[in-house]
Structure 1
Amino acid sequence: MARLLVVEDDEMIGRALQRSLTAHAHEVSLMPTGKGALREAGRSSFDLVLLDLGLPDLDGLAVCRELRTAQADTVIVMLTARDEEMDVIIGLEAGADDYLTKPVRLAELHARIRAHLRRGESIAHAEVSGPTRLGDLVVDAAGRRVTLAGRDLPLRAKEFELLARLTAQPGVAVSRDTLMSDVWDEHWVGSTKTLDVHMAALRRHLSTAPEAANVPMIVTLRGHGYRLDAPPTS
Structure 2
Amino acid sequence: MHRVLVVDDEPSIRQLVQYNLTQAGFDVVTGESGNQVLHLVRDKHPDILVLDLMLPGMSGMEVCQQLRREGITTPVIMLTARDDEIDRILGLEMGADDYITKPFSPRELIARIRAVLRRTTSGSESAGGDVYQIGNMRIDVTKYELTINGTPVDLTTREFELLAYLCQNANRVLTRDQLLENVWGYEFAGDTRIVDVHISHLREKIEKNPKAPEYIKTVRGVGYKLVKGEANRGADS
- Structure 1 residue aligned with 2:98: 98
> Conserved in 1, the CA contact under 8 Å of 2:180 and 2:188?
no
> Conserved in 1, the CA contact under 8 Å of 2:132 and 2:167?
no
Aligned residue for 2:131, secondary structure, equals coil
Q: CA deviation at 1:214?
A: 9.1
**Which ranges in structure 2 are unaligned for 5 or more consecutive residues?**
232-237
Amino acid at match of 2:183: V
- Structure 1 residue aligned with 2:132: 131
- Structure 2 residue aligned with 1:229: 227
How many equivalent residue pairs?
A: 229
Q: CA deviation at 1:34?
A: 1.3
* TM-score, normalising length: structure 1: 0.84
CA distance in 1, matches of 2:144, 2:121: 15
Amino acid at match of 2:36: G
- Structure 2 residue aligned with 1:42: 42
> Conserved in 2, the CA contact under 8 Å of 1:215 and 1:230?
no
CA distance in 2, matches of 1:53, 1:144: 28
Aligned residue for 1:63, secondary structure, equals helix
Residues 26 and 193 of structure 1: is their aligned pair in 2 closer, same or farther, counting only changes over 3 Å?
Answer: farther
Percent identical across equivalent pairs?
37
- Structure 1 residue aligned with 2:55: 55
1:11-22 correspondence to structure 2 within 5 Å: 11-22=11-22
CA distance in 2, matches of 1:101, 1:205: 29
Residues 53 and 182 of structure 1: is their aligned pair in 2 closer, same or farther, counting only changes over 3 Å?
Answer: same
Task: Determine whether 1:72 maps to 2:67.
Answer: no
1:1-234 correspondence to structure 2 within 5 Å: 1-69=1-69, 72-126=72-126, 127-133=128-134, 135-148=135-148, 151-185=151-185, 187-188=186-187, 191-208=191-208, 215-222=214-221, 224-230=222-228
CA distance in 2, matches of 1:69, 1:44: 19
Q: CA deviation at 1:189?
A: 5.7
Aligned residue for 1:131, secondary structure, equals strand
Q: CA deviation at 1:60?
A: 1.9
